[in-house]
Structure 1
Amino acid sequence: MAINLEKGQRISLEKSNGSKLQNICVGINWGAIEKKGLFGLSSGKEAVDLDASCALYSADKQLEEVIYFGNLKSKNAAVKHSGDDLTGDLDGDDGLDNEVITVDFSKLSDSTNYVAFVLNSFRGQDFGKIPFASIRIYEGTPTQVNEVFAKYDIAHGAGFAGHVSMVMGVFYKRNGEWKFNAIGEPTKDRELKGTVATVTQQYL
């Protein structure tokens, strides 16, 4: 399996030993914004609420379900969201994911052909103003990272500044095999509904 895919790269999820990848996680780690007071001195932290979400689609690209902070588990429990983090790290980067979405491919409905991941800045805070914000998509569980196959630095990555939403990537099924498309593109949307509509129109 390729590691740290660049934007636009695609891989099969069949592992080198021939087994199929079963469990993946999408983890987001970010920090609160340092507020500047008089003479540029710190005057505390401004909470940052980034929201990771997952949209499931059928083979004919019909939206089946969205898993997000208001719906933490898919109907069949194949997709689970760890819960809403409203602040980000307040005391510097602790290296841990603030929100994690897990997918068990073996539990997905047979009708599901696309599993898309998006990120939104709930309060409209610009990705470029956040001190650190990174995404990693990996095989394993929230407590065991086996192999990372896509990473994005949205706080410092070229093109993310000035945006408050992005498409992280899409898993898709071809001839019964799951594959992954590393997208990593910001969108012009302002909220989750619009970002999901962009995925439907442009990235499936």
Structure 2
Amino acid sequence: MAINLQKGQRINLEKSNGSKLQNVCVGINWGAIEKKGMFGFGSKKEAVDLDASCALYDDGKNMREVVYFGNLKSKNGSVKHSGDDLTGDMGGDDGLDNEVITLDLGALDPAISYVAFVLNSFRGHDFGTIPFASIRIYEGSPKRVNEVFATYDIANGAGFAGHVSMVMGVFYKKNGEWKFNAIGEPTKDRKLEETVRTVTERYL
């Protein structure tokens, strides 16, 4: 399953050995903005607060719950958030994810049929002004990456500049099998509630 998805691609989550993908992570890595000092002398770092969130829906596309910085795990513990990073990397790219959401597909409430991942810039920093910001969706755990199957570069990717929110992708259940839709599209929303509404209306 060595797949690097392009935007809009859908994949079946069966691995090459025939087993089903079980543990999925969505990791976000980003940096603080460097601000030049007066007359070009010196510089200082401006903290950037990106927020990864996950919305769970039933078969009727009714939202059941949202896992985000204010609610770090789903009711049954199948979705967990690593916690809110308020600054981004202050000293350059350390290569580590600042926020990770883990999803255990096998432990999800059977009533859940859609799991959508979104990203919001909490203080309204335009994605295009952030020095580096990348997303990877992979099999494994926050400490071990087995196989990456979707990556997005939102600091440099065409279309992200001028936006502060995006839909990363949606896992969905079809005939009892989990599949993944790599959406990777910015939205015009400003806040998490608006972005979740956009997902409900357009991406399920």
1:182 partner SS: strand
Matched, 1:50 2:60: no
Q: Which amino acid in structure 1 is aligned with residue 37 of structure 2?
A: G
**Contact persistence 1:31–1:93 (CA under 8 A):** yes
Runs of at least 5 residues in structure 2 that lack an aligned partner in the other structure:
none
Contact 2:73 2:80 in 1 (8 A): yes
Partner residue, 2:100:
100
Deviation of the 1:39 alpha carbon: 2.8
Partner of 2:198: 198
Q: Does 1:6 align with 2:6?
A: yes
In the aligned structure 2, how far is the partner of 1:126 from the partner of 1:36? 18
Match of 1:158 in 2: 158
SS at match of 1:34: strand
**What is residue 149 of structure 1 aligned with on the other side?**
149
Question: Is the Cα–Cα contact under 8 Å of residues 34 and 42 in structure 1 kept in the other structure?
Answer: no
The residue aligned with 1:116 is 116
SS at match of 1:27: strand
Letter matched to residue 30 of structure 1 = W
CA distance in 1, matches of 2:109, 2:153: 32
Structure 1 SS opposite 2:156: coil
The answer for the alignment partner of 2:128 in structure 1 is 128
- 1:128-167 deviations in Å (ceiling 9; x for gaps): 0000000000000011100000000000000000000000
Residue 40 (structure 1) shift: 2.7
Per the TM alignment, residue 41 of structure 1 is displaced from its structure 2 partner at its CA by 3.5
Distance of 2:84 and 2:16 partners within structure 1: 35
Count of aligned pairs between the two proteins: 204
Map 1:22-101; keep pairs closer than 5 Å.
22-101=22-101
Cα offset, 1:123, TM superposition: 0.1
Q: Any conservation in 1 of the 2:125–2:164 contact (CA below 8 Å)?
A: yes
Deviation at 1:2, TM superposition (A): 4.7
Deviation, structure 1 residue 175: 0.5
Q: Is the CA contact 1:5–1:150 (under 8 Å) kept in the aligned structure 2?
A: yes
Q: Does the 8 A contact of 2:133 with 2:153 survive in 1?
A: yes
- Secondary structure in 1 aligned to 2:4? coil
Post-superposition offset of 1:42: 3.7
Percent identity of equivalent pairs = 80
CA distance in 1, matches of 2:192, 2:36: 30
Partner secondary structure for residue 45 of structure 2: strand
Which residue pairs with 2:172 in the alignment? 172
Partner secondary structure for residue 138 of structure 2:
strand
Once the two structures are superposed, residues 46-104 of structure 1 have per-residue CA deviations (whole angstroms, 9 ceiling, x without a partner) of 00000000000001100000000000000000000000000000000000000000000
Counterpart residue type for residue 167 of structure 1: V
